[in-house]
């Protein structure tokens, strides 16, 4: 089940050892960990839009990550997904495509 990055040590591990890849307005930082499954955190600046816009983007991407995990396309580890302001005008399929591309780049062996 998709979990959340919550502890300071998990964020420190991401910062110190994370591999970063970008596709369009989506940036993914990943590091493997002893976690049983994927743990995800989102970083969405206020520059992206108001709370409604930021939460909508976050929900869309979280749901897509759940879908990927259900089909075994998401490796266990820590993920930090950063959303840039350019994501606001994109359709859902474009947004998911950028996320898929960034994930493929961050761990190409899967």
Mean pLDDT of 85-108: 94
Dihedral pair phi/psi, residue 50, rounded to 5° = -75, 180
Q: Is 71 exposed, middle or buried (0-12, 13-18, 19+ CB in 10 A)?
A: exposed
Nearest to 11 by CA among 26, 33, 27: 33
How many structural domains does the chain have? 1
Lowest average pLDDT, out of 27-36, 61-70, 92-101, goes to 27-36
pLDDT digits (tens, 9 = 90+) for 41-92: 999 999 999 999 999 999 999 999 999 999 888 999 999 999 999 999 999 9
Domain that holds residue 62: 3-106
CA distances from 39 to 1, 34, 53, 71, 110 (A): 9, 11, 23, 16, 17
The pLDDT confidence band at residue 107, using thresholds 50, 70 and 90, is: confident
Those residues whose C-beta lies under 8 Å from the C-beta of residue 82, and which sit 6 or more positions away, are 26, 27, 28, 29, 42, 43, 44
The confidence band for 110, taking pLDDT boundaries of 50, 70 and 90, is low
Q: What is the CATH number of the domain that holds 57?
A: 3.30.230.10
Q: Is the pLDDT of residue 103 over 70?
A: yes
């Amino acid at each position: 089940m998709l979990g959340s990055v919550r502890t300071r040590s998990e964020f420190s591990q991401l910062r110190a050892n994370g591999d970063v890849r970008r596709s369009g307005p989506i940036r993914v930082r990943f590091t493997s960990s002893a976690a049983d499954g994927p743990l995800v955190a989102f970083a969405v600046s206020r520059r992206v839009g108001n709370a409604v816009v930021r939460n909508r983007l976050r929900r869309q991407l979280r749901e897509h990550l759940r879908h990927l995990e259900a089909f075994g396309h998401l490796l266990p580890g820590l993920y930090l997904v950063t959303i840039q302001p350019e994501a606001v005008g994109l359709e859902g399929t474009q947004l998911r495509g950028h996320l898929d591309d960034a994930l493929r780049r961050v761990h190409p062996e899967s």
